[in-house]
Structure 1
Amino acid sequence: MKFNKSIILSAAIFGAASLVSCSDSYLDKEVDLTLQGDVVFGDYDMTRGFLANCYTYLPDAFADYSDANSRLNKDCMTDNAVCYWRGYTHSVMDDAYDASNHWYANNYWNTRTAGIRACNQFILNARPSVVGNAERTGDDNRLYDRFIAEARVLRAILHMEMVQWFGDVPIIGDDEEGKPIVLTPSMPLPPRSKAEDVLQWIADECDKYKNDLPFRYTNEEENWGRINGAAAYALKARALLYMASPLHNESGDTERWNKAAQAALDFISANSKCWNPYRLHTAPGNDPNENYYDCFITNPVHNNEYILSRSVWRGQTPIEEFNSPCGFTGRRSATGYMNPSQNLVDAYETIAGLPIDHNDSGYDEQNPYANRDPR
């Protein structure tokens, strides 16, 4: 696959180091606004800690521990994989859930909106006089602007998650005066907007704040998992790609595909102008097979294919547990929950960078793995 195909947010998105309980009762609690105004945002460390807590609302795409649900993976709801457990995934496909009993959907809705609310509280209350906003060299240049940009892109990511699950959703952004909308759990949300409008809003938010963030942090060890400029560029490209999809493009506007392609090219250009920090991972020896294998087991801090990642919750091993073949044992026995399909295999391109159904790809049905992307 060509590099521009890999301009995506990492499958495992970052969670803050101090992870909190992920029970519904915790996530439904309203943050003490009195404490925020009087104490939290008057103190640098508490302000920084509040922003760190906003990161805990980001999901883990391998297994949504952040949603108290360790058995759901989106790939099992597509043609990419087949799940052998006749559990939630199959129940959704069989229309076994509706608005009255779909507690999974309610959980996703509630956690995403709670995370958006936390981001809005931070954006509204953080103070440049406390955080500081001086120009300096390194990652902390104009730190207040960077913190606000982190929170705004986090908010955009959570909106993106909601669009992926629900389609038309409310935009819980800023009011007419440009102030973040902070709602308590008991207050009604704004009316739903069309998915394409939400996706355009996400792209616009990323565009506004991407340059307030380091494209990649110089001190990756210290800032691993923080929102960076590259994540904003990548999220914009993804939002515009979704917007161009027939699912959200009923008129068939081909210009949307051009905008999505331009956003992806903008990422590549920005990456080149930086110091090309994001590139294909290379293992010792540069063997193509080892490169791909090593990409999945290397510390994300040292992996140049990860744009934004988060740690797995509670010290567990969902990647091995759910994806390895049955019989694989270790800290936890594997269950073979998610099994790749032939559709996923066929999605890999030829070495010419073309899909296998392209006339000039050189694909041979009798020898399907010849001249293919080694991954």
Structure 2
Amino acid sequence: MKMKKYISIILLAATTFVGCQKDFLDTEIQQNFDEELFFRSGFNNLKALGMESYNYLPQFNRFGNGMLAAASDEADFAIPSNLQRFNTGALSPFTNPDDVYANYYRGIRHVNLFLEKTEDYRNQIVQDTIGPEKAIYIDNLDDFTKLRAEARVLRAFFYFELIKRYGGVPLVTTVLNEQQSREVTRATFDEVVNYIVSECDAAYPILTNHYVNYGIPTGETVGRGDAPGSTDISRIGRIEKPVALALKLRALLYAASPLHNPSNDVTKWQKAVEAAMQLFSDPNSAHVRHIFGNFKDLFQSQNTANTLTPRKGANTGIILTRPFARSSNAFERANYPVGMTNAGGAVTAPSQNLVDAFEMRTTGLPITDPASGYNPNDPYANRDPRLAFTVAVNGSNMGVVGTTPRPIQSFVGGVDGIGAKFGATTTGYYLRKMLVENFDPSRTDGRPKAWVLMRYEEVLLNFAEAANEAYGPDVVPPASNGFSTTLTARAAVNLIRARPGVAMPAIPAGLSKEQMRERIRNERRVELAFEEHRFFDVRRWKIAEVTENQPLRGMRVLPNGLGGFTYQVFEVEPRSFDATNNKMYLYPIPFQEIAKSNGKLTQNPGW
């Protein structure tokens, strides 16, 4: 039977997968293959089809180099954008800047097709099993077995991305025809979470421990990812065992959170704790249980073989990334200060709201505490070092001209200041996190990059939140199903704060559960800024009606005529969040999906 509707997607899969895995695309497909012939066309084509599933993983700059942070209290996007619909309450079933519904269902359909059509993969990729071809077949068979398990985790990941936006969604695990797609109904949020957990559990035993020396004979060092000088990064970005455990934990944490657990069923928090303890106890996850000392290098790598990867031996704590083109510099050009040649024009400008969340380094206290030591006349002195790694302030070195570091001039009247030109900062701040440092935007060269989708610090914070809610700040959770830990909620957070280069004072003992909750939430805010957590955190905590109804604020830096500056906090813009009937806590289901569903697909409340 000829491929009709889906043949173009299959052909694209086999010829256009991008990233670090170009070696997977050794064979192009002829244009006139029918479906049966394609799925008998050999290992390279089928693997390319499976690898295409990775292209549906999220990118943080998918809004024309803007970021979802600008739809929360983290930042403002300096140019007119649909992102403002989140900030003005103008979201609708017809217009949603982050309408990923169709995209993730395309990804789910792609995985479903791949899994269904490769059930007989042992025969589909078979080669002559006499002589050297036997070894090739065995290697390919093992690789393909793992790829199918990876696809299942990717599908679970796509479902998580859907439910954290839309709540319960249709749970589709087979390829549907057009009529069947009109008959789907929504599963509940918990039903989809249970599915995600079951898929992660089922895939875990099949996934590889780590890919960095995979396929290299024992005793050999050439190409080993864990050997000094190794350059073997051919499988970087593929899913390993820790991804399944971290995704399971993330899904269970959301299920336990107030938005989805209004009765505060403590057993849901306990399930999340158990999932975290599984990752802590898992010998196959030891290579990701690290807190990388150099915070900024987690996001500003110059070499994808060293950081921005889960490479064993790098000890970065990174669990999953989405690598992208080495030659890309569009994100830097968009976000570098506008006074530089070829820079600026689509700046994500961090907010004063975010800056104020960074505590004082000496005391470990919030700046609102009279005992903190905060000086409003010198507002960036002695702050949590993560502030300087995340946000560029007036006078920060950011970028180079030739080889000379360039300080930002975001003061009033400065070439990088508010209103200096189209796309300049609107808050007085520029983004630093995730940008390659020492970059000259007048040049055309790019640097290796990846979006960090999962890392160990998030695992610790997920555990801390669940453990605090289930057991309190200073109680070691009891062992469960053979999994255990020696950590308490407070100790887990303090591990992050104590990392070299940050060395923030420990959160003290004796806090109540409520007090510790606020410290954990603030720690997530500063540690995970701009990684697409804050936007969803304030929703699952059901505090968005407070945080997102406050004005977004900035800092006006004024020369004082004496070689120094004075600082004035100002309102950048009002923000609006409609919590009536929990309306904006979930996205509206797109109108076109409702319209084509023959009345089977229900809309979210308030829309």
Tell me the TM-score normalised to structure 1 length.
Answer: 0.72
Residue in 2 that maps onto 1:124:
116
Residue in 2 that maps onto 1:296:
299
Q: Which has the larger radius of gyration?
A: 2
Unaligned runs of 5+ in 1: 1-14, 21-31, 174-180, 283-290
Residues 348/120 of structure 1: CA separation in 2 closer, same or farther (3 Å cut) = farther
**What SS is found at the alignment partner of 2:320?**
coil
**What SS is found at the alignment partner of 1:311?**
strand
Residue in 1 that maps onto 2:276:
264
Note the C-alpha offset of 1:256. Answer: 1.4
Q: Letter of the aligned partner of 2:202 in structure 1?
A: K
Q: Letter of the aligned partner of 1:210 in structure 2?
A: Y
Query: 1:196-345 to 2 correspondence within 5 Å?
Result: 196-219=190-213, 221-270=233-282, 272=283, 275-282=286-293, 291-298=294-301, 299-303=303-307, 304-312=316-324, 315-329=327-341, 332-333=343-344, 335-343=346-354
**What SS is found at the alignment partner of 1:82?**
strand
Deviations 1:309-338 (A, max 9, x none): 1133695335424544443556x5463224
Identity of aligned residues (%): 25
Query: 1:72-151 to 2 correspondence within 5 Å?
Result: 72-99=66-93, 101-102=94-95, 104=97, 106=99, 108-126=100-118, 127-131=121-125, 142-151=142-151
Paired positions, count: 319
Matched, 1:195 2:189: yes
**What SS is found at the alignment partner of 1:211?**
coil
Residues 321/346 of structure 1: CA separation in 2 closer, same or farther (3 Å cut) = same
Note the C-alpha offset of 1:212. Answer: 0.9
Residues 321/17 of structure 1: CA separation in 2 closer, same or farther (3 Å cut) = farther
Residues 198/351 of structure 1: CA separation in 2 closer, same or farther (3 Å cut) = farther
Task: State whether residues 200 and 243 of structure 1, in contact with CA within 8 Å, keep that contact through their aligned partners in structure 2.
Answer: no
Residue in 2 that maps onto 1:154:
154
Deviations 1:187-239 (A, max 9, x none): 32621122232122212211111121113213351111111111111111111
- For 2:281 and 2:360, the matched residues in 1 are separated by 23
Query: 1:354-373 to 2 correspondence within 5 Å?
Result: 364-367=371-374, 369=383
Tell me the TM-score normalised to structure 2 length.
Answer: 0.46
Residues 45/16 of structure 1: CA separation in 2 closer, same or farther (3 Å cut) = closer
Matched, 1:59 2:58: yes
Greater mean deviation of Cα atoms: 215-224 or 251-260? 215-224
- For 1:139 and 1:35, the matched residues in 2 are separated by 27
**What SS is found at the alignment partner of 2:204?**
helix
Task: State whether residues 210 and 240 of structure 2, in contact with CA within 8 Å, keep that contact through their aligned partners in structure 1.
Answer: yes
Q: Letter of the aligned partner of 2:296 in structure 1?
A: Y
- For 1:363 and 1:41, the matched residues in 2 are separated by 71
- For 1:161 and 1:125, the matched residues in 2 are separated by 25
Residues 223/183 of structure 1: CA separation in 2 closer, same or farther (3 Å cut) = same
Q: Letter of the aligned partner of 1:58 in structure 2?
A: L
- In terms of fraction of residues, the more strand-rich structure is 2
Greater mean deviation of Cα atoms: 115-124 or 261-270? 261-270
- For 1:320 and 1:344, the matched residues in 2 are separated by 21
Residue in 1 that maps onto 2:175:
182
Q: What RMSD over aligned residues (CA atoms) do the two structures have, in Å?
A: 3.8
**What SS is found at the alignment partner of 2:287?**
coil
**What SS is found at the alignment partner of 2:350?**
strand
Residues 301/202 of structure 1: CA separation in 2 closer, same or farther (3 Å cut) = farther
- For 1:370 and 1:50, the matched residues in 2 are separated by 45
Q: Letter of the aligned partner of 1:266 in structure 2?
A: Q
Residue in 2 that maps onto 1:46:
45
- For 2:144 and 2:241, the matched residues in 1 are separated by 15
Note the C-alpha offset of 1:347. Answer: 6.5
Task: State whether residues 150 and 207 of structure 2, in contact with CA within 8 Å, keep that contact through their aligned partners in structure 1.
Answer: yes
Residues 294/105 of structure 1: CA separation in 2 closer, same or farther (3 Å cut) = closer
Residues 211/44 of structure 1: CA separation in 2 closer, same or farther (3 Å cut) = same
Note the C-alpha offset of 1:95. Answer: 3.1
Residues 150/365 of structure 1: CA separation in 2 closer, same or farther (3 Å cut) = same
Which protein, 1 or 2, shows the higher relative CO under an 8 Å CA cutoff with sep ≥ 6? 1
- For 1:264 and 1:351, the matched residues in 2 are separated by 31
Note the C-alpha offset of 1:121. Answer: 0.5
Q: Letter of the aligned partner of 1:236 in structure 2?
A: K
Greater mean deviation of Cα atoms: 253-262 or 312-321? 312-321
Residues 370/281 of structure 1: CA separation in 2 closer, same or farther (3 Å cut) = closer
Note the C-alpha offset of 1:251. Answer: 1.8
- For 1:153 and 1:273, the matched residues in 2 are separated by 17
Unaligned runs of 5+ in 2: 1-12, 19-30, 127-133, 214-224, 226-232, 308-315, 375-381, 386-496, 503-526, 528-607
- In terms of fraction of residues, the more helix-rich structure is 1
- For 2:341 and 2:353, the matched residues in 1 are separated by 26
